[in-house]
Structure 1
């Protein structure tokens, strides 16, 4: 493994440092304003300047830095596993959004605390590092803040890029700035990618191949969505033996396609129920009118109603109940994908035992869907006709749906095995516990 000193800072990096100093007051004003609007306490707002609001715990500290909600929540399972492997470890999560802070606070694993990250300025980062003195720094997905990386590495903190994922646009931009990309990637002791393609991209950007390893997809191992068992039982009883399929996280412009597919399916399955769970439940009135205009009958979950025998569409216009619908039915179309929106998390469906249908616009999960479709755990649809065909196939051929669900379970099992390898690799980067010989373990 090469010494980080072999790759020198570039002119672009020095320009970035200078610009970040000049722009710091403006950036601080904008960032602090957003946090205050969300009701964040002033002391916590100042965490963005590196002023900690919690003491550093004694012992070895692992620092996770994540971008936002999805990345923050994705590390919780890994923290649990690391805590089991090394019971003395303490953990710090930094993330920049108030929403992520709120959600993490409700799900903090043992010995874990949250702080907002320092702005990427020399003074704020120094203040943060001087207080927390992490023994290992783990950057999740694509959060590459230059001064944070360089100063942490200069402080002899081993750094890991975890669950590395880069969009084609990011790869193209960084490849044009190859020397700077190489310098930043050289700060990492280890880079664990979601898949082989990302490893190829990182090598093209200048990453040292000796430091690259394929790891697990953390989002595939997040805790399953919550399920209220009483509600699940009530809805199950109301549906009875009727066949059902789910269209979840749909967006404006997609429900027309979903309803057209459902109408086509009703010709062969007249008792079929569509459970429609829009991404934004506040569109309930609009969707209720759209369903009626299509000539279909519906009942809304937001009015505490349960589907009747005559109900053709159960409009699940509520928040926090998606886990119930995935547990209820293993045949799920995931929205945000028939239009150029980016798609939604397929692993939440798979963790509930389901198989996934997706449109071609799920670019936020493009690499995952390519693998899932390749192994038969998911299918891609492009229109009302292809959606109806895919749903009909899984309704008429239960063994085909069971096969897809088995492939999904197999995928998750492989991710769990890779997670064990990730935990081992991370523990090996930590300094020994106080009193341990350097060659322990």
Structure 2
């Protein structure tokens, strides 16, 4: 009954969904493409001769997290093509760089029964690996009916999300009962998932794929080259910033410049469609910014460098002295703090960090991360760390050590994939 109501409401919302895509398409042409794919029409270019191993990762962050897994699956199963689905154009662009010639990619269909059926009829996956919390009731129901094994990978469930899902328990419990195996990031995630209806015997803690991020072997060298091009000036990065944050960050940078007049802010907005908007904001505050997308290098009198490119955050972290990670001064739960920690940079975050609560607690306990309440505190903290290279280095070393100690989720997930492909079901623990 609940799923029927959900499906009816989703059907009524379809015109609004496509109107939203059309509006986004006015600013981002990529949103005007692939509408047929969103209705389940798998293009011939995305079909495989043999049933593929299907991996779904919603957007850029999730695609980055699964990059080591994709490479591992390609090594472990060389004769099995991969089908990689995403939800956003930016995620699709990021995913394209991970695929072999025999692999395919497309958009995930909307969660309408017809769209899901068309997609599954054409894709014919041997196994579905769904990354993080893409809990689509009609998709999971269709996978269950077709007896396609499902692996819910890197699963997380914050206390806030659990409270929201609890109000929809009759809808969400069958979804969580579908996967053959659920690999949770942490004990708290596993407990909340079982409370919401996941069978306890199918849930295990496997760690977080984001700890296994693959950094280029020449990252330190390239970071040093970029840093040298910026000149001998203090430099900090505000990464993955969201709407409503940049004003605070620019105010914090004004505070920093009172002590370090030549300080440089590398500002990297989360979403490409906001690059020009943020450039205008910088222009209003400090004058014309240098823009990385144009190959520009900031002059000595330019206090802000707009990092308006995709896929370069590790390089930018390597070129900076310390990192603030956005989505956290506004109530959006924060972004991935592991990348700067893995690069060995001191990490600062705002108070909203529920998306990465376990990770931020661990980094904080290790002395690798500090939380600030607002723009004033951010300005003071950045100033202090730029003034104290020993403290900055100690924080960076602690973060890199913690990341190294928690690697391994990719191997555990790859082992589960192999087990399911071999037997049709993941191994159960005794009594599970």
TM-score (norm: length of structure 2): 0.80
SS in 2 for 1:213: strand
SS in 2 for 1:416: coil
What are the Cα deviations for residues 105-140 of structure 1, in whole angstroms up to 9, with x where unaligned? Answer: 244356421112233233332222222221111112
CA drift of 1:173 comes to 2.8
Rounded Cα–Cα distance in structure 2 between residues aligned with 1:29 and 1:343? 28
Alignment RMSD (CA, Å): 3.6
Alignment of 1:165-244 (within 5 A): 165-224=156-215, 233=225, 235-236=227-228, 239-240=231-232, 242-244=233-235
What are the Cα deviations for residues 362-394 of structure 1, in whole angstroms up to 9, with x where unaligned? Answer: 443333222221222211122455435544554
CA drift of 1:400 comes to 3.2
> Does the 8 A contact of 1:257 with 1:383 survive in 2?
no
1:355 maps to 2:359 = no
SS in 2 for 1:92: strand
SS in 2 for 1:253: helix
Q: Report what 2:133 is aligned to.
A: 142
Rounded Cα–Cα distance in structure 2 between residues aligned with 1:234 and 1:198? 39
Change (3 A) 1:127 1:340: closer
Q: Which ranges in structure 1 are unaligned for 5 or more consecutive residues?
A: 1-10, 293-297, 434-441
1:346 maps to 2:337 = yes
Q: Report what 1:160 is aligned to.
A: 151
Q: Which moved more, 1:73-82 or 1:216-225?
A: 216-225
Residue from 298, 305, 308 that aligns with 1:315: 305
What are the Cα deviations for residues 332-384 of structure 1, in whole angstroms up to 9, with x where unaligned? Answer: 22234233344332233234332211111344333322222122221112245
Change (3 A) 1:222 1:27: farther
Residue from 393, 396, 401 that aligns with 1:410: 401
1:46 maps to 2:36 = yes
What are the Cα deviations for residues 163-200 of structure 1, in whole angstroms up to 9, with x where unaligned? Answer: 11234443223213334332221111111122222112
Q: Report what 1:436 is aligned to.
A: none
Rounded Cα–Cα distance in structure 1 between residues aligned with 2:17 and 2:236? 48
1:253 maps to 2:243 = no
Q: Which moved more, 1:151-160 or 1:275-284?
A: 275-284
Change (3 A) 1:124 1:176: same
Change (3 A) 1:264 1:132: same
Change (3 A) 1:51 1:26: same
Rounded Cα–Cα distance in structure 1 between residues aligned with 2:231 and 2:187? 44
CA drift of 1:18 comes to 5.5
Residue from 402, 405, 417 that aligns with 1:426: 417
Q: Report what 2:80 is aligned to.
A: 89
1:119 maps to 2:79 = no
> Does the 8 A contact of 1:118 with 1:125 survive in 2?
yes
Q: Report what 1:265 is aligned to.
A: 259
1:68 maps to 2:59 = yes
Change (3 A) 1:288 1:125: closer
SS in 2 for 1:182: helix
CA drift of 1:205 comes to 0.6
SS in 2 for 1:345: coil
Q: How many residues align?
A: 410
Rounded Cα–Cα distance in structure 2 between residues aligned with 1:396 and 1:40? 44
Rounded Cα–Cα distance in structure 1 between residues aligned with 2:207 and 2:86? 21
> Does the 8 A contact of 1:165 with 1:198 survive in 2?
yes
